[in-house]
A and B are shown apart, each in its own frame.
Chain A
Amino acid sequence: MKIENHILDILQLYEYSMSIGKSLDYQQNCNDFLKLLLKRVNFNACWIIKKNDTSYIGQYSIPQGNTINTKINEEITNFSSGIGQCKLFQFNEVPKSLCPIKISEGYILIYSLYEEGFLFLYSKNHKFDHTLLPQLFPVIIKFSKVLKASRVFSDQQLLLDKLKESNEELNDYAHVVSHDLKSPIRNIETLISWIEEEFSGSINTHTSAYIRQIRQNITKMECLISSILTYSSIGSKEYQYQHIDLNYLLEDILEHNYIPDHFEVSFQKNLPTIMGDEFRLQQLFQNLINNAIRYNDKSKGLILIDYKELNEYHQFQIKDNGIGIAEDYHYKIFDTFQKLDNSIESSGVGLSIVKKIVNSYRGDAWLESELGVGTSFFFTLKKT
């Protein structure tokens, strides 16, 4: 009979143990384990309190009761330090401020949940069997570990949600600001046209030069705003993934974009077909080719596009014989609004866009360059 009882005890612990850790949600974990305990051991109530800097705060309670928010004082400190790993108390030995329900008889069994606070198990009538305390102990340790994991998971989830929210806010902000800026710029352009029309006979050379400078700055501003818009839209929209043959993609770019006559662009014809968003890939290659054309002072411009297959990545190289980039700029060149000259057409966002697209493919971008000789931009795209 005794052996049978021991087996029953062990199986009962198996049942409790299996109810723990079925979820990563704190509340669900408490429900699964503590409701089972209430059913099987005939407890009347249970609750969890957790310490913060100044107080003990109620985390969970069956039945629902008053919210526990108890300032830590000498009485509470003495009481909590006397619990140890677990201890059985008569109802009147436990400070009322640590109980969410009114208790006027019975016993309270308290277990330490370590970093997760204390678990209180209340029975109105039964004095607990003394074997129950140590028997439940390993199960309670498992429970406290699962509570900690649940809390860490939910904190992480909260952080991710906040990050996502602030990213979305940032994207929305960039969009709104860009659109709002475009409207007054167009108004300035219109007003200048009206001034030119109204004073067409009396504008002298100086004024004319000023107006030209205003127009150049407007163009620059528009270019900058468009670039910000493009940059902020990367990652904020759903990508349309499909098989893209990069040979066709590059031919298309070279055919439909302006390439000065003194440039020769060549690429090896065995570029791969990859899964990607056509528009973003086009933007990626186009920005690098445009850069290679813009920053070239040679009478015969050369651009070579090369490819290498790595284990997990596709690696591309866009090599030119341009002016080259000083080493100080090799890293910050990919930062937003970093540019090598003050030209109107350049917004300083092109390479940031390149970096952002490459990042979205879990790849990397870097460069090798020699002043006066040329630059090689490298980037990788992770294979899917």
Chain B
Amino acid sequence: MFVKPISVNHVVTKITDYVGKKAALVSIAENTEIDIDKLIFELNASGIKFMGGIFPKVIHGQSISDTGIVVNTLVDVVIISHISQISKRKLVIPSIDFNENHQYSLITYVDGLTSNISSYLSELYEKYGMQTSYFGGGAGSLSLQQKPCVFTNDGIFQDSAVMCVIRMKMSIGVKHGWEKLKGPYIVTKAQSNTIQEINWKRPFEIYREAVESDSKKKFNDDNFFEIAKGYPFGIVRSGDEHVIRDPLTVNENGELVCVGQVEENTLVSIMKGNKDSLIISAEEAAIESMKKAINPKKAIIVDCISRILFLEEKFNLELDKITSVLRERSPNISISGALTLGEISSYGNGYLEFYNKTVVVGLFE
């Protein structure tokens, strides 16, 4: 359900009517004019269980919007929890008694601008392993100013993650559409999200050489992101798709600051994409998820905000491709989601990853 808020009470009434006695997954577009604290207070007063996040934009059907609220019903909720101080690495992940006769899905929204998100995901997998599927994304503002952006009945939080586990089958498709341009290189020095050396050299030197020669454009003081949005890094995986890391800025030392952790000695390639390859990959993600699903009723799409910055007006085609694949087989499927700062799932059903510039389609049934 998509709500254009008139007032907090209006939103609360809409949510209450929509989810009834079930729980709500609430995704708010960052330019929505609403008092979040009051919304949390009123939802609590109405006895609704909920979790959610604030994202640059939300997806409803075939549209995207930077204002408005998307609400999904969470059926058979096992737990809703918030995990604080992600950057401090002292995480307390709640224990859950999984029943092996049921299938479970875990949805998590994490402050996309905090550090150590990979460690949080690692802890989740260590605790729950293959007993659940995983799906989620990075919340936060497109301004890249870190502020409280994930919430539950307990309040709204920064440097935190919120998660829920539901007793429901989920099928996932993950694709990005970026192809290797040059590499591999070794990240010989790194600190959290910053690549400090590639092949024992300043990373920007190597990056600039590869990107300028392919793009026929020159980097200057103001245009780093404008060019770099088409040339992300890809972390090399054995015989599988790269995990994409988005370079955001270059600092005064010629180091590259990315969205998401890059560890020392990681092998990376410089990737390249075109609008068509990205759109095709979105379609492939939808097909992949549909192949695994039996009777999907709800689709939640987590798509990276930087894909829209790259695809620009063609982003609608990406969304069209996804929705047409989903509706071709399930005409009544409800489609919603968010444009996020990083995406979360596993490739296949293995270890959890935090991606950039990637589209994840989750089908619930």
Residues of A whose CB lies within 8 Å of any CB of B are 7-8, 11-12, 14-15, 18-19, 35-36, 38-45, 62-65, 101-102, 123-125, 129, 132
> Is the CB–CB distance between A14 and B186 below 8 Å?
yes
Q: How far is the CA of A102 from the CA of B237 in the complex (A)?
A: 26
Contact status B350-A38, CB under 8 Å? yes
**Residues in B neighbouring A44, C-beta threshold 8 A:** 129-130, 349-351
Q: Using Cβ atoms and an 8 Å threshold, which residues of chain A touch B100?
A: 102
Chain A binder among B35-43, B119-127, B301-309, B337-345: B119-127
Q: By the criterion CB–CB under 8 Å, are A64 and B127 in contact? A: yes
Tell me whether B236 and A101 are in contact (CB under 8 A): no
Residue contact A101 to B130, C-beta cutoff 8 Å: yes
Task: Check A15–B126 contact: CB distance below 8 A.
Answer: no
Q: Is B129 a contact partner of A12 (Cβ separation < 8 A)?
A: no
Cα A39 to Cα B240 in complex, Å, equals: 11
Q: C-beta contact mask, B158-187 vs A, less than 8 Å → 1, else 0?
A: 000000000000000000000000001010
Q: Are B130 and A42 in contact (CB under 8 A)?
A: no
**Contact B266 A43, beta carbon cutoff 8 Å:** no
A11 and B125 contacting across the interface, CB-CB below 8 Å: no
Nearest 9 CB-CB pairings of A with B: A63-B129, A18-B265, A38-B351, A42-B350, A41-B238, A15-B265, A44-B350, A40-B237, A39-B351
Q: How far is the CB of A326 from chain B (nearest CB, A)?
A: 65
Q: Mark B259-276, 1 if CB is under 8 A from A, else 0.
A: 000011111000000000
A177 → B minimal CB distance (Å): 43
How many A-B pairs fall under 8 Å by CB?
74
B237 x A124 contact (CB < 8 A) = no
Contact across chains for A62 and B348 when beta carbons are under 8 A apart = no
Q: Are A124 and B129 in contact (CB under 8 A)?
A: no
A38 to B347, CA, bound (A): 11
In the bound complex, how far is the Cα of B122 from the Cα of A129, in angstroms?
A: 25
* B interface residues (Cβ-Cβ under 8 A, vs A): 100, 122, 125-130, 184, 186, 236-240, 263-267, 347-351, 353
Are B186 and A11 interface neighbours, CB within 8 A? Answer: yes
Contact partners of B127 in chain A: CB under 8 A: 63-64
Q: Which residue of chain A lies nearest to B243 when distances are taken between CB atoms in the complex?
A: A39
CA A64 to CA B347, docked complex, whole Å: 20
B239 neighbours in A (Cβ, 8 Å):
129
A64-B126, A64-B129 given; name 15 further pairs at CB < 8 Å.
Answer: A7-B184, A15-B186, A15-B265, A15-B266, A18-B265, A39-B237, A40-B236, A41-B237, A44-B351, A62-B125, A62-B129, A64-B127, A101-B130, A102-B100, A124-B130
Could you say which residues of chain B place their CB within 8 Å of the CB of A8? 184, 236, 267
Contact B240 A42 (CB under 8 A): yes
Q: How far is the CB of B131 from chain A (nearest CB, A)?
A: 8
Other-chain residue from B126, B184, B237, B238 in contact with A63 (beta carbon distance below 8 A)? B126
User: Which residue of chain B is the closest to A104 with respect to CB atoms?
Assistant: B100
In contact, B238 and A124 (Cβ under 8 angstroms): no
Q: What chain B residues lie within 8 Å of A7 (beta carbons)?
A: 184
For residue A42, which residue of chain B has the nearest CB? B350
Report chain B residues within 8 Å CB of A124.
130, 348-350
Q: Whole-angstrom distance between the alpha carbons of A7 and B353 in the complex?
A: 25
In the assembled complex, which residues on chain B have CB atoms less than 8 Å from the CB atom of A41?
237-238
In the complex, A129 Cα to B239 Cα: how many Å?
9
Q: List 5 A-B contacts (CB under 8 A).
A: A11-B236, A12-B238, A18-B264, A64-B126, A132-B238
Cβ-defined contact, B129 with A45, below 8 A: yes
Interface centre among B237, B239, B263, B350 (most CB of A within 10 A): B350
Contact A12 B267 (CB under 8 A): yes
Q: Chain B contacts of A18 at CB under 8 A?
A: 264-265
